[in-house]
Protein backbone atom coordinates (compact mmCIF):
# COMPACT_ATOMS: atom_id res chain seq x y z
CA UNK A 1 0.00 0.00 0.00
CA UNK A 2 1.32 3.46 -0.90
CA UNK A 3 1.61 5.84 2.02
CA UNK A 4 -0.17 9.16 1.60
CA UNK A 5 2.03 12.23 2.04
CA UNK A 6 2.28 13.64 5.52
CA UNK A 7 0.40 16.73 6.63
CA UNK A 8 3.43 18.94 6.10
CA UNK A 9 3.54 17.95 2.41
CA UNK A 10 -0.21 18.52 2.04
CA UNK A 11 0.11 22.01 3.46
CA UNK A 12 3.20 23.19 1.64
CA UNK A 13 2.73 21.43 -1.68
CA UNK A 14 4.95 19.03 -3.59
CA UNK A 15 7.18 18.87 -6.65
CA UNK A 16 7.70 15.99 -9.05
CA UNK A 17 11.01 14.28 -8.30
CA UNK A 18 13.29 13.15 -11.12
CA UNK A 19 11.93 9.64 -10.69
CA UNK A 20 8.30 10.78 -10.73
CA UNK A 21 8.88 12.95 -13.79
CA UNK A 22 10.55 10.04 -15.55
CA UNK A 23 7.65 7.69 -14.78
CA UNK A 24 5.20 10.21 -16.18
CA UNK A 25 7.34 10.69 -19.30
CA UNK A 26 7.37 6.96 -19.91
CA UNK A 27 3.60 6.65 -19.44
CA UNK A 28 2.88 9.68 -21.64
CA UNK A 29 5.17 8.42 -24.41
CA UNK A 30 3.62 4.96 -24.36
CA UNK A 31 0.12 6.43 -24.42
CA UNK A 32 1.07 8.74 -27.30
CA UNK A 33 2.46 5.79 -29.26
CA UNK A 34 -0.81 3.93 -28.84
CA UNK A 35 -3.41 6.66 -29.01
CA UNK A 36 -1.87 9.71 -30.66
CA UNK A 37 -0.07 8.39 -33.72
CA UNK A 38 3.29 8.45 -31.98
CA UNK A 39 3.18 12.23 -31.57
CA UNK A 40 3.78 13.79 -28.16
CA UNK A 41 0.66 15.13 -26.50
CA UNK A 42 0.06 18.86 -26.66
CA UNK A 43 -0.69 20.72 -23.46
CA UNK A 44 -4.33 21.01 -24.53
CA UNK A 45 -4.58 17.27 -25.10
CA UNK A 46 -3.07 16.59 -21.68
CA UNK A 47 -5.56 19.01 -20.14
CA UNK A 48 -8.45 17.13 -21.72
CA UNK A 49 -7.07 13.77 -20.59
CA UNK A 50 -6.30 14.78 -16.99
CA UNK A 51 -9.00 17.35 -16.30
CA UNK A 52 -6.30 19.75 -15.09
CA UNK A 53 -5.89 23.25 -16.51
CA UNK A 54 -2.96 23.99 -18.85
CA UNK A 55 -1.52 26.37 -16.25
CA UNK A 56 -1.61 23.71 -13.53
CA UNK A 57 -0.03 21.14 -15.85
CA UNK A 58 2.71 23.58 -16.83
CA UNK A 59 3.49 24.28 -13.18
CA UNK A 60 3.66 20.56 -12.37
CA UNK A 61 5.81 19.73 -15.41
CA UNK A 62 8.27 22.60 -15.02
CA UNK A 63 8.82 21.60 -11.37
CA UNK A 64 9.74 25.15 -10.38
CA UNK A 65 6.66 25.85 -8.23
CA UNK A 66 4.83 23.40 -5.94
CA UNK A 67 1.40 21.92 -6.61
CA UNK A 68 -0.93 20.26 -4.12
CA UNK A 69 -0.76 16.48 -3.76
CA UNK A 70 -4.29 15.76 -5.14
CA UNK A 71 -3.27 17.54 -8.36
CA UNK A 72 -0.22 15.32 -8.70
CA UNK A 73 -2.29 12.25 -7.91
CA UNK A 74 -4.83 13.19 -10.61
CA UNK A 75 -2.03 13.64 -13.15
CA UNK A 76 -0.63 10.18 -12.35
CA UNK A 77 -4.02 8.47 -12.38
CA UNK A 78 -4.75 9.81 -15.87
CA UNK A 79 -1.97 7.47 -17.07
CA UNK A 80 -2.88 4.55 -14.80
CA UNK A 81 -0.12 5.32 -12.31
CA UNK A 82 -0.14 5.65 -8.53
CA UNK A 83 2.41 8.11 -7.10
CA UNK A 84 5.04 6.47 -4.89
CA UNK A 85 6.87 8.20 -2.03
CA UNK A 86 9.96 8.69 -4.22
CA UNK A 87 7.93 10.35 -7.00
CA UNK A 88 7.60 13.71 -5.29
CA UNK A 89 9.49 16.13 -3.06
CA UNK A 90 8.23 18.43 -0.32
CA UNK A 91 8.21 22.19 -0.86
CA UNK A 92 11.69 23.40 0.07
CA UNK A 93 13.53 20.42 -1.47
CA UNK A 94 15.13 21.55 -4.72
CA UNK A 95 14.15 19.30 -7.67
CA UNK A 96 16.72 18.19 -10.19
CA UNK A 97 16.67 19.69 -13.68
CA UNK A 98 13.72 18.67 -15.84
CA UNK A 99 14.66 17.01 -19.15
CA UNK A 100 12.20 17.11 -21.99
CA UNK A 101 10.32 14.18 -23.45
CA UNK A 102 12.37 11.79 -25.55
CA UNK A 103 11.65 10.44 -28.99
CA UNK A 104 10.50 6.90 -29.66
CA UNK A 105 13.36 4.48 -29.05
CA UNK A 106 14.74 3.43 -32.44
CA UNK A 107 17.56 1.07 -31.45
CA UNK A 108 18.57 -1.11 -28.51
CA UNK A 109 19.86 0.73 -25.48
CA UNK A 110 23.56 0.35 -24.77
CA UNK A 111 25.87 2.00 -22.31
CA UNK A 112 24.89 4.97 -20.18
CA UNK A 113 21.21 5.88 -20.44
CA UNK A 114 20.51 9.55 -21.04
CA UNK A 115 18.98 11.58 -18.22
CA UNK A 116 15.72 11.87 -20.16
CA UNK A 117 15.43 8.15 -20.96
CA UNK A 118 12.06 6.74 -19.88
CA UNK A 119 13.66 3.30 -19.82
CA UNK A 120 15.88 3.97 -16.83
CA UNK A 121 14.63 1.94 -13.87
CA UNK A 122 15.24 3.37 -10.42
CA UNK A 123 16.52 0.83 -7.92
CA UNK A 124 15.94 2.65 -4.68
CA UNK A 125 17.47 3.24 -2.24
CA UNK A 126 20.65 3.34 -4.40
CA UNK A 127 19.75 6.59 -6.20
CA UNK A 128 18.50 8.28 -3.06
CA UNK A 129 21.55 7.29 -1.01
CA UNK A 130 23.95 8.70 -3.62
CA UNK A 131 21.93 11.89 -4.06
CA UNK A 132 21.90 12.55 -0.31
CA UNK A 133 25.47 11.51 0.53
CA UNK A 134 27.18 13.98 -1.83
CA UNK A 135 26.03 16.88 0.34
CA UNK A 136 28.14 15.68 3.27
CA UNK A 137 31.59 17.33 3.41
CA UNK A 138 34.32 14.85 2.57
CA UNK A 139 31.82 12.18 1.45
CA UNK A 140 33.09 8.96 -0.12
CA UNK A 141 30.68 6.66 -1.97
CA UNK A 142 31.72 3.20 -3.15
CA UNK A 143 29.31 2.21 -5.91
CA UNK A 144 29.63 -1.48 -6.64
CA UNK A 145 27.86 -3.75 -9.09
CA UNK A 146 28.63 -6.18 -11.94
CA UNK A 147 29.46 -5.02 -15.45
CA UNK A 148 26.58 -3.56 -17.47
CA UNK A 149 24.36 -3.23 -14.42
CA UNK A 150 23.79 0.52 -14.84
CA UNK A 151 26.43 2.04 -12.53
CA UNK A 152 27.37 4.87 -14.89
CA UNK A 153 23.71 5.66 -15.60
CA UNK A 154 23.08 5.99 -11.86
CA UNK A 155 26.16 8.18 -11.42
CA UNK A 156 25.00 10.41 -14.29
CA UNK A 157 21.89 11.20 -12.27
CA UNK A 158 23.97 11.90 -9.18
CA UNK A 159 26.18 14.23 -11.21
CA UNK A 160 23.12 16.03 -12.55
CA UNK A 161 21.87 16.62 -9.02
CA UNK A 162 25.30 17.89 -7.97
CA UNK A 163 25.46 20.29 -10.91
CA UNK A 164 21.99 21.59 -10.05
CA UNK A 165 23.51 22.63 -6.71
CA UNK A 166 26.54 24.31 -8.34
CA UNK A 167 29.05 21.54 -7.66
CA UNK A 168 32.11 21.25 -9.84
CA UNK A 169 32.09 17.73 -11.27
CA UNK A 170 34.72 15.53 -12.92
CA UNK A 171 34.62 11.91 -14.11
CA UNK A 172 37.93 10.07 -14.61
CA UNK A 173 37.94 6.52 -15.99
CA UNK A 174 41.06 4.56 -15.16
CA UNK A 175 40.35 2.43 -18.21
CA UNK A 176 41.37 5.40 -20.36
CA UNK A 177 44.92 5.42 -18.97
CA UNK A 178 47.72 3.98 -21.10
CA UNK A 179 49.17 0.73 -19.75
CA UNK A 180 52.61 2.32 -19.42
CA UNK A 181 51.28 4.68 -16.74
CA UNK A 182 50.63 1.76 -14.42
CA UNK A 183 54.34 0.96 -14.25
CA UNK A 184 55.44 4.24 -12.65
CA UNK A 185 53.67 5.81 -9.65
CA UNK A 186 54.92 9.34 -10.32
CA UNK A 187 53.78 9.27 -13.95
CA UNK A 188 50.40 7.83 -12.97
CA UNK A 189 49.83 10.53 -10.35
CA UNK A 190 50.82 13.28 -12.80
CA UNK A 191 48.42 11.87 -15.41
CA UNK A 192 45.65 11.78 -12.81
CA UNK A 193 46.20 15.41 -11.81
CA UNK A 194 46.44 16.55 -15.44
CA UNK A 195 43.17 14.81 -16.36
CA UNK A 196 41.30 16.41 -13.46
CA UNK A 197 42.69 19.87 -14.20
CA UNK A 198 41.75 19.52 -17.85
CA UNK A 199 38.20 18.48 -16.95
CA UNK A 200 37.93 21.56 -14.72
CA UNK A 201 39.23 23.71 -17.57
CA UNK A 202 42.24 24.77 -15.48
CA UNK A 203 45.77 25.26 -16.89
CA UNK A 204 48.24 22.45 -16.36
CA UNK A 205 50.66 23.65 -13.67
CA UNK A 206 52.41 20.38 -12.95
CA UNK A 207 55.83 21.67 -14.00
CA UNK A 208 55.78 24.45 -11.42
CA UNK A 209 53.83 22.73 -8.63
CA UNK A 210 55.28 19.20 -8.72
CA UNK A 211 58.39 18.40 -6.68
CA UNK A 212 59.81 14.89 -7.36
CA UNK A 213 61.75 15.12 -4.10
CA UNK A 214 58.56 14.59 -2.08
CA UNK A 215 57.21 11.71 -4.18
CA UNK A 216 54.02 11.16 -6.15
CA UNK A 217 51.57 10.84 -3.24
CA UNK A 218 52.57 14.07 -1.53
CA UNK A 219 52.85 16.03 -4.79
CA UNK A 220 49.46 14.81 -6.01
CA UNK A 221 47.77 15.68 -2.70
CA UNK A 222 49.41 19.10 -2.62
CA UNK A 223 48.33 19.76 -6.22
CA UNK A 224 44.73 19.02 -5.28
CA UNK A 225 44.78 20.99 -2.02
CA UNK A 226 46.65 24.09 -3.14
CA UNK A 227 45.40 24.28 -6.73
CA UNK A 228 42.43 22.15 -7.82
CA UNK A 229 40.35 22.38 -4.65
CA UNK A 230 41.45 25.94 -3.92
CA UNK A 231 40.35 27.14 -7.39
CA UNK A 232 36.76 27.63 -6.15
CA UNK A 233 34.88 27.46 -2.86
CA UNK A 234 32.10 25.31 -4.30
CA UNK A 235 31.91 21.56 -3.56
CA UNK A 236 33.83 19.31 -5.95
CA UNK A 237 32.47 15.87 -6.88
CA UNK A 238 35.16 13.59 -8.32
CA UNK A 239 34.03 10.28 -9.83
CA UNK A 240 36.70 7.64 -10.44
CA UNK A 241 35.35 4.94 -12.73
CA UNK A 242 36.80 1.47 -13.39
CA UNK A 243 38.88 1.43 -10.21
CA UNK A 244 39.20 -2.34 -10.79
CA UNK A 245 41.85 -1.51 -13.39
CA UNK A 246 44.30 -0.80 -10.58
CA UNK A 247 43.77 -4.14 -8.87
CA UNK A 248 46.19 -5.69 -11.38
CA UNK A 249 48.93 -3.23 -10.37
CA UNK A 250 49.28 -3.61 -6.58
CA UNK A 251 52.33 -1.38 -6.27
CA UNK A 252 50.48 1.57 -7.84
CA UNK A 253 47.18 0.67 -6.21
CA UNK A 254 48.52 0.57 -2.66
CA UNK A 255 49.82 4.15 -2.82
CA UNK A 256 46.93 5.56 -4.83
CA UNK A 257 44.18 4.05 -2.69
CA UNK A 258 46.08 4.98 0.46
CA UNK A 259 46.13 8.58 -0.77
CA UNK A 260 42.35 8.53 -1.38
CA UNK A 261 41.83 7.24 2.16
CA UNK A 262 43.93 10.15 3.48
CA UNK A 263 41.83 12.61 1.47
CA UNK A 264 38.68 11.13 2.96
CA UNK A 265 40.08 11.45 6.49
CA UNK A 266 41.04 15.08 5.87
CA UNK A 267 37.62 15.92 4.46
CA UNK A 268 35.59 14.25 7.18
CA UNK A 269 37.69 14.89 10.26
CA UNK A 270 40.18 17.65 9.49
CA UNK A 271 37.88 20.40 8.27
CA UNK A 272 39.19 23.20 10.52
CA UNK A 273 42.85 22.51 9.90
CA UNK A 274 42.64 22.03 6.11
CA UNK A 275 39.21 23.27 4.95
CA UNK A 276 39.85 22.69 1.23
CA UNK A 277 39.39 18.94 1.69
CA UNK A 278 35.85 19.39 3.00
CA UNK A 279 34.87 20.49 -0.53
CA UNK A 280 35.85 17.14 -2.01
CA UNK A 281 33.34 14.34 -2.52
CA UNK A 282 34.50 11.05 -4.02
CA UNK A 283 32.61 8.32 -5.86
CA UNK A 284 34.56 5.14 -6.62
CA UNK A 285 32.91 2.87 -9.20
CA UNK A 286 33.94 -0.78 -9.00
CA UNK A 287 32.72 -4.11 -10.33
CA UNK A 288 34.36 -6.44 -7.84
CA UNK A 289 35.22 -6.63 -4.18
CA UNK A 290 38.78 -5.66 -3.33
CA UNK A 291 41.24 -8.51 -2.90
CA UNK A 292 44.39 -6.40 -2.65
CA UNK A 293 46.32 -6.78 0.63
CA UNK A 294 45.68 -3.16 1.66
CA UNK A 295 46.46 -1.96 5.17
CA UNK A 296 43.22 -1.67 7.14
CA UNK A 297 43.91 2.00 7.92
CA UNK A 298 45.03 2.88 4.38
CA UNK A 299 42.12 1.46 2.40
CA UNK A 300 39.25 3.60 1.09
CA UNK A 301 37.18 0.44 0.69
CA UNK A 302 36.23 0.06 4.34
CA UNK A 303 35.08 3.65 4.94
CA UNK A 304 32.42 5.89 3.51
CA UNK A 305 29.13 4.63 2.10
CA UNK A 306 28.89 1.36 0.15
CA UNK A 307 26.05 1.31 -2.38
CA UNK A 308 25.46 -2.07 -4.04
CA UNK A 309 23.58 -1.94 -7.34
CA UNK A 310 21.49 -5.10 -7.64
CA UNK A 311 19.92 -6.87 -10.60
CA UNK A 312 16.35 -5.98 -11.52
CA UNK A 313 13.71 -7.74 -9.46
CA UNK A 314 10.51 -9.03 -11.05
CA UNK A 315 8.43 -5.95 -10.27
CA UNK A 316 11.08 -3.74 -11.92
CA UNK A 317 11.12 -5.96 -15.01
CA UNK A 318 7.33 -5.70 -15.14
CA UNK A 319 7.59 -1.91 -14.85
CA UNK A 320 10.02 -1.93 -17.78
CA UNK A 321 7.66 -4.13 -19.79
CA UNK A 322 4.91 -1.56 -19.28
CA UNK A 323 7.19 1.21 -20.50
CA UNK A 324 7.90 -0.76 -23.66
CA UNK A 325 4.19 -1.38 -24.14
CA UNK A 326 4.38 -5.14 -23.55
CA UNK A 327 1.33 -6.83 -22.06
CA UNK A 328 0.59 -8.62 -19.86
CA UNK A 329 3.56 -7.22 -17.95
CA UNK A 330 3.45 -10.00 -15.33
CA UNK A 331 3.99 -12.68 -17.99
CA UNK A 332 6.96 -10.84 -19.49
CA UNK A 333 8.39 -10.20 -16.04
CA UNK A 334 8.22 -13.86 -15.03
CA UNK A 335 9.81 -15.22 -18.21
CA UNK A 336 12.53 -12.59 -18.54
CA UNK A 337 13.56 -12.90 -14.90
CA UNK A 338 13.93 -16.66 -15.39
CA UNK A 339 16.03 -16.29 -18.54
CA UNK A 340 18.17 -13.22 -17.70
CA UNK A 341 18.12 -13.18 -13.90
CA UNK A 342 17.40 -9.45 -13.84
CA UNK A 343 20.54 -8.53 -15.82
CA UNK A 344 19.69 -4.93 -16.80
CA UNK A 345 21.52 -4.92 -20.14
CA UNK A 346 20.13 -8.22 -21.43
CA UNK A 347 16.65 -7.38 -20.14
CA UNK A 348 16.65 -4.01 -21.90
CA UNK A 349 17.84 -5.63 -25.13
CA UNK A 350 15.15 -8.29 -24.99
CA UNK A 351 12.45 -5.71 -24.25
CA UNK A 352 13.44 -3.65 -27.26
CA UNK A 353 13.29 -6.53 -29.74
CA UNK A 354 10.08 -7.84 -28.21
CA UNK A 355 8.47 -4.40 -28.51
CA UNK A 356 9.63 -4.18 -32.14
CA UNK A 357 8.13 -7.65 -32.76
CA UNK A 358 11.48 -8.93 -34.00
CA UNK A 359 11.22 -11.58 -31.28
CA UNK A 360 8.28 -13.27 -29.63
CA UNK A 361 8.06 -14.25 -25.99
CA UNK A 362 7.41 -17.88 -26.94
CA UNK A 363 10.51 -18.13 -29.14
CA UNK A 364 12.83 -15.98 -26.99
CA UNK A 365 14.37 -18.78 -24.94
CA UNK A 366 14.74 -21.18 -27.86
CA UNK A 367 16.41 -18.60 -30.12
CA UNK A 368 18.64 -16.92 -27.53
CA UNK A 369 21.59 -19.30 -28.06
CA UNK A 370 21.37 -19.70 -31.82
CA UNK A 371 24.38 -18.42 -33.83
CA UNK A 372 22.42 -15.50 -35.31
CA UNK A 373 20.74 -14.49 -32.05
CA UNK A 374 20.52 -10.80 -31.18
CA UNK A 375 22.26 -11.79 -27.96
CA UNK A 376 25.23 -13.25 -29.84
CA UNK A 377 27.27 -10.06 -29.60
CA UNK A 378 26.93 -9.60 -25.82
CA UNK A 379 27.58 -13.30 -25.25
CA UNK A 380 30.74 -13.27 -27.37
CA UNK A 381 31.95 -10.13 -25.61
CA UNK A 382 31.36 -11.78 -22.26
CA UNK A 383 33.16 -14.93 -23.45
CA UNK A 384 36.16 -12.84 -24.44
CA UNK A 385 36.35 -11.39 -20.92
CA UNK A 386 36.16 -14.87 -19.39
CA UNK A 387 38.99 -16.09 -21.61
CA UNK A 388 41.04 -13.00 -20.77
CA UNK A 389 40.94 -13.98 -17.09
CA UNK A 390 41.45 -17.67 -17.90
CA UNK A 391 38.10 -18.59 -16.33
CA UNK A 392 36.43 -20.47 -19.17
CA UNK A 393 37.01 -23.89 -17.62
CA UNK A 394 35.68 -22.68 -14.29
CA UNK A 395 32.47 -21.32 -15.81
CA UNK A 396 31.95 -24.40 -17.94
CA UNK A 397 32.29 -26.68 -14.92
CA UNK A 398 30.14 -24.42 -12.75
CA UNK A 399 27.31 -24.45 -15.31
CA UNK A 400 26.95 -28.23 -14.93
CA UNK A 401 26.50 -28.21 -11.13
CA UNK A 402 22.86 -27.46 -10.20
CA UNK A 403 23.76 -26.96 -6.53
CA UNK A 404 26.63 -24.61 -7.31
CA UNK A 405 30.31 -24.83 -6.44
CA UNK A 406 32.69 -23.27 -3.95
CA UNK A 407 35.19 -20.88 -5.50
CA UNK A 408 38.27 -19.14 -4.20
CA UNK A 409 37.57 -15.53 -3.13
CA UNK A 410 39.59 -14.04 -5.98
CA UNK A 411 37.91 -16.15 -8.69
CA UNK A 412 34.47 -15.51 -7.19
CA UNK A 413 35.12 -11.76 -7.18
CA UNK A 414 36.27 -11.77 -10.80
CA UNK A 415 33.23 -13.74 -12.00
CA UNK A 416 30.84 -11.67 -9.92
CA UNK A 417 32.41 -8.49 -11.30
CA UNK A 418 31.71 -9.76 -14.80
CA UNK A 419 28.08 -10.31 -13.83
CA UNK A 420 28.33 -14.05 -14.47
CA UNK A 421 27.52 -15.55 -11.08
CA UNK A 422 25.43 -15.06 -8.00
CA UNK A 423 25.45 -16.95 -4.72
CA UNK A 424 22.99 -19.48 -3.34
CA UNK A 425 23.70 -20.77 0.16
CA UNK A 426 27.30 -19.50 -0.15
CA UNK A 427 27.84 -21.46 -3.39
CA UNK A 428 28.33 -19.89 -6.81
CA UNK A 429 25.73 -20.51 -9.52
CA UNK A 430 25.28 -18.87 -12.95
CA UNK A 431 23.71 -15.41 -12.75
CA UNK A 432 20.92 -16.46 -15.09
CA UNK A 433 19.58 -19.37 -17.12
CA UNK A 434 21.03 -17.96 -20.34
CA UNK A 435 24.59 -17.95 -18.98
CA UNK A 436 24.22 -21.43 -17.53
CA UNK A 437 23.10 -22.91 -20.84
CA UNK A 438 25.68 -20.93 -22.82
CA UNK A 439 28.59 -22.33 -20.82
CA UNK A 440 27.11 -25.82 -20.82
CA UNK A 441 27.71 -25.79 -24.55
CA UNK A 442 31.44 -25.31 -23.97
CA UNK A 443 31.53 -28.07 -21.38
CA UNK A 444 29.84 -30.49 -23.78
CA UNK A 445 32.16 -29.45 -26.63
CA UNK A 446 35.24 -30.11 -24.52
CA UNK A 447 33.82 -33.35 -23.14
**How is 345-371 classified by DSSP, letter by letter?**
HHHHHHHHHHHTTSS-HHHHHHHTTST
Secondary structure (3-state) at 277: helix
| In-domain check, residue 107 | no
pLDDT digit of tens for each residue in the chain (447 aa)?
344 444 444 446 888 887 888 888 888 877 876 788 767 788 888 999 999 998 888 888 888 788 888 888 999 999 888 888 888 887 666 665 544 333 344 566 677 888 778 888 989 899 999 999 999 999 999 999 988 899 999 999 999 889 989 999 999 999 999 989 999 999 999 999 999 999 999 999 999 999 888 888 999 999 999 999 999 999 999 999 999 889 889 889 999 999 999 999 999 887 667 789 999 999 999 987 766 667 767 789 999 999 999 999 999 999 899 888 888 889 999 999 999 999 999 999 999 999 888 888 988 988 888 888 888 888 888 888 888 888 888 888 888 888 888 888 888 888 888 888 888 888 888 888 999 888 887 766 555
Share of the chain above pLDDT 90, in %: 40
| In-domain check, residue 231 | yes
pLDDT in the model for residue 9: 42
pLDDT in the model for residue 446: 54
| In-domain check, residue 108 | no
Residues 289, 319, single domain; the answer is no
Q: What is the CA radius of gyration of the chain?
A: 24
Residues 61, 157, single domain; the answer is no
Distance CA 141, CA 119 (A): 25
Q: For residue 229, what are the β-bridge partners?
A: none
Residues 154, 263, single domain; the answer is yes
CATH code of the domain containing 385: 1.10.10
Residues 153, 288, single domain; the answer is yes
Residues 400, 358, single domain; the answer is no
| In-domain check, residue 302 | yes
| In-domain check, residue 106 | no
Determine the distance from the C-alpha atom of residue 385 to the mean position of all C-alpha atoms in its chain, rounded to a whole number. 21
Q: What is the pLDDT of residues 175-201, one digit of tens each?
A: 999 989 999 999 999 999 999 999 999
Residues 339, 391, single domain; the answer is no
Residues 318, 363, single domain; the answer is yes
Of the candidates 19, 190, 3, the residue with the CA atom closest to the CA atom of residue 85:
3
**Domain end marker among 68, 90, 112:** 90
Residues 354, 267, single domain; the answer is no
Residues 137, 282, single domain; the answer is yes
**β-pair type (280-286, 305-308):** unpaired
| In-domain check, residue 198 | yes
| In-domain check, residue 241 | yes
Of the candidates 45, 255, 286, 352, the residue with the CA atom closest to the CA atom of residue 143:
286
Residues 69, 133, single domain; the answer is no
Q: What is the pLDDT of residues 43-60, one digit of tens each?
A: 888 999 999 998 888 888
Total domains present in the chain:
4
Residues 177, 268, single domain; the answer is yes
Q: What is the pLDDT of residues 58-80, one digit of tens each?
A: 888 888 788 888 888 999 999 88
In sequence order, the 6+-apart residues with CB closer than 8 A to the CB of 131 are 157, 158, 161
**Domain end marker among 308, 329, 352:** 308
Q: CB–CB of 213/145 below 8 Å?
A: no
Q: Phi-psi category of 111—alpha, beta or left, where left has phi over 0 and alpha has psi -120 to 50?
A: left
| In-domain check, residue 110 | no
CATH code of the domain containing 15: 1.10.260
Q: What is the pLDDT of residues 322-366, one digit of tens each?
A: 888 888 889 999 999 999 999 999 999 999 999 888 888 988 988
pLDDT in the model for residue 98: 44
**Domain end marker among 342, 367, 392:** 367
Distance CA 353, CA 364 (A): 10
Residue numbers of the domain that contains 17: 7-90
Q: Whole-prediction pTM value?
A: 0.79
Residues 137, 227, single domain; the answer is yes
CATH code of the domain containing 135: 3.40.50.300
In sequence order, the 6+-apart residues with CB closer than 8 A to the CB of 220 are 189, 190, 192, 193, 259
Amino acid sequence: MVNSPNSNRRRRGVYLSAQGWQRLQAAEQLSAMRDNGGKAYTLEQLSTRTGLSPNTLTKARRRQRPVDYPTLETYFQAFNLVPQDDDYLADGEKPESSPGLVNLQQRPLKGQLSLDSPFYIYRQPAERLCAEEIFHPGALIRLRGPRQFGKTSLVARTLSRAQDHDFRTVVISLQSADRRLFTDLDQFMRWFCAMVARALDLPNQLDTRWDPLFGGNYSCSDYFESYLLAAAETPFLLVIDEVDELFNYPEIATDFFGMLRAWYEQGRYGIKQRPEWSRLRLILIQSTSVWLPLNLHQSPFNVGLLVELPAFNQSQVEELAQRYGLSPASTYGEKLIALFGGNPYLTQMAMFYLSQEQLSLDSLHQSALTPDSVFGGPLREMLSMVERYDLLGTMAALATQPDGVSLSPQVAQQLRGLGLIKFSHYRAVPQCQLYGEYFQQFYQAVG
